[in-house]
Chains A and B, each alone.
Chain A
Amino acid sequence: MTSAAPQRSEAPQTRAAPLLVVDAITKKFDTPEGTMTAVEHMSFDVAPGEFLAVIGPSGCGKSTLFNIIGGLLDGYEGRVAVAGETVNGPHQSIGMVFQEESTFPWRTVTENVAFPLEIAGQPKAQRTERAKHFIDLVGLRGFENRYPAELSGGMRQRVAIARTLASEPKILLMDEPFGALDEQTRLLLGDKVLQIQDQLKQTCLLITHNITEAVQLADRVLVMTYRPGKLKRMVPIELPRPRSSEIVSSDAFGHYVAQIWGDLREEASRGMRDDEAHMLHEHKP
């Protein structure tokens, strides 16, 4: 294991005015068993150029939070604001990358990436040229005319990221974008995201349940409690930048992973017990 003491990262030290503000969000769902609070009084902010990872056990309301920030879910208490503007519904400043495979199978890589530009009414030649830039950025040059079915899962997810970046959002909001991929691909794609973030100075908010991924990528990691999802702890990751997946072998990295797992373990156990109790109740003879 490479020895590296925790150092201060190059992320904003004196925090600038936040670009994204999540203020006292509470979301409840009506279920057959009664009202279920998915997220409770969740507040945090993200500075311009910052990378924040939100981590929590399964069922803690991470995806609910993703959908609320992305404007896909309404009927919640609290406020989400981007650069001071309250978000009501999908917002052009927020670009979303989804957990599930979300490329359009009937479009080529270029057509997929150019999709937001097409919606914006850009002429074909111009949007194709612009799409090429983002295809290059995610390292898919040479695959412009391929269809998603002809690509691997990791490549398809890179197409989805390039498509979102093509809309030039102020905030890149990602919901476990590498969740369906194997560990090696996940680490390598993490490198790609770091490169892109470094190049574009992109503000990123990553929702994940993967501790390694969160520590590898983020400036801060927000740990959520199990249902209802609340802020348990904010962990600043003071690892040097630029980073790459090689950092996972450092002592400092291990220290952060252990620290976050310490917080998460109790929540994950609670989630598991809850699931088991639920299954016992469901399958009662």
Chain B
Amino acid sequence: MTVERAGRPRRGGGPPGEPRRVGYLYLLPAFLVYAAFLLYPLVRSVQLSFYRWDGLTLGTWVGLDNYLEVVQDQGLRAAFAHALVLMVFYALVPLVVGLGLASILNRAKVRGLGFFRTVVFLPQVVAMVVVAVAWRRIYAPDGTLNSLLSAVGLGSLTRGWLGDYTLALPAVGFIGTWFETGLVTVLLLAGMGRISGELYEAARLDGAGPVREFLTVTLPSVRGEIAVALTLTVIAALRTFDLVYVTTRGGPGNSTSVPSYEVYHRAFELGQVGSAAAIGVCLTVIIFVISFAITRVGDRETT
């Protein structure tokens, strides 16, 4: 990067050769599809968000009302607050657990690591609907979790987990924890595997124990991986749709409604298309800001 900025000839940086117009031609088909089915809808989304429209009759221009609603409407504020709670379950918990697991595994070169990696990464490739079906079974009133609790004498704790007003959201969040922890662990393991052994030797010569070794060597070395992990998981939390749609449909009440679900619910079930578009635009902006912010912080701290 710095080399290019210093204005040296682009031997190492950019693509080789002189400017080529034919590049546009190679780009054209991809760009057409991309523009027609992603860029144009995004612009239309912004446009729709300024209207009150039921999807059938003529819409009316309402200016920023739909955005004001996002800030003021109780239900929508709750939905965004739920997304924040989900972020704890999707991003924070997996990060803490993943850091612990990965550093333990990295310290002791255990055998069977490849198998372990395959297993803990598996949730990532299973369709979310299938995941939701599995966890609905686990959380059901006559499901696995309650049988387990009864078996160990905690029968008083059994309940229909997804029908409980206070516990449904954490229950959905925990599915996210289950889903993301493997990914985060594998990601951090890869990062830790690249740390040179000499750094640990040096730390040990200084008399550092496992904890100080973790804080002074491991943690700073995987800042880039932490940034990537946080970006992935925070965005996944914000985009939770399939899981909520299949497990709770936002209920009971609106205790598990999230922004993504509200987009679908309002546009295609309530006929509040403008409002749905505004939520979608907000969601997009939030995702862009968060991923830029996390990447920036990660970059600055690694260099």
Does B associate with A?
no
